[in-house]
Amino acid sequence: MALRPLSLSLDLIARAHPGTVPDDPNALTLLSDDALAPELEAMLARRASSDGGLWVFAYGSLLWSPEFAFTEQRLGTVRGWHRRFCLLQRRYRGTPERPGLVLGLDRGGVCRGVAFRLADTDPHATLMPVWRREMKGKGYDGRWVAVETEAGPVTALTFMVNRQSDRYTGRLSDEEIAHKIATACGHLGPSAEYLFRTVEACARLGIHDRHLWSLQALVAERLRERHAAGP
């Protein structure tokens, strides 16, 4: 199925957010590697079998910025979970006053993404960079999931939203999500860029997610309004 052209663009995002935002290390409490290592060991202990290889399922920023080298990638589907902007981001691409949003897997539905195969010689060392990236802010729970691919099923590590986190928003409307994404910017850039990169990656892969496609049009509309209103 051919996808429509993207409504959102980097140029539009830059015009709506021309300034920079200083980093505030106090905006988000981060776990240390020492605190994260036992959790990763426990996750690896729950791995059913290593015969099928070491896999990570990507559905958001890992689609366009993976934290690992990989030897194979496959389009795949996870059932029982769907991709949704439901996790506040008070640092990086937002601030405590204007938090942005990032994606998480939440209950129900299905999610199309990419299963990446990683080197399996030292799973702990291989997974620690992505484990650190996703788990240090206490916004996610790691889980092994079954991923359906055309070449057969694989078991992959992925990251569900932590519903116990104070960053979890529950089910916001698309309009509420679009407003937060359009207005938020952190020291790494606007929240809208995270959305753009994810939609762009999904379009390139042939993944059509109605939630993302609707949001990028809504966010583009709000960014145009923001740019027209001036500083």
Can you tell me whether residue 57 is helix, strand or coil? strand
The partner residues of 148 in beta bridges, in order of sequence, read: 77
The partner residues of 228 in beta bridges, in order of sequence, read: none
Eight-class DSSP state of 168: B
The residue whose two tokens read 């980097």 is 10
The candidate with the shortest Cα–Cα distance to 167, out of 110, 62, 109, 85, is 85
- Look up residue 202 and give its two tokens: 């999904």
Catalytic residues: 134
The candidate with the shortest Cα–Cα distance to 39, out of 134, 165, 142, 156, is 142
Alpha helices in 108-173 (DSSP H): 123-135
The partner residues of 88 in beta bridges, in order of sequence, read: 101
Output helix, strand, coil percentages for the chain, rounded to the nearest 5: 35, 30, 35
Alpha carbon 184 to chain centroid, angstroms: 16
The residue whose two tokens read 């539905």 is 109
The residue whose two tokens read 């802010």 is 137
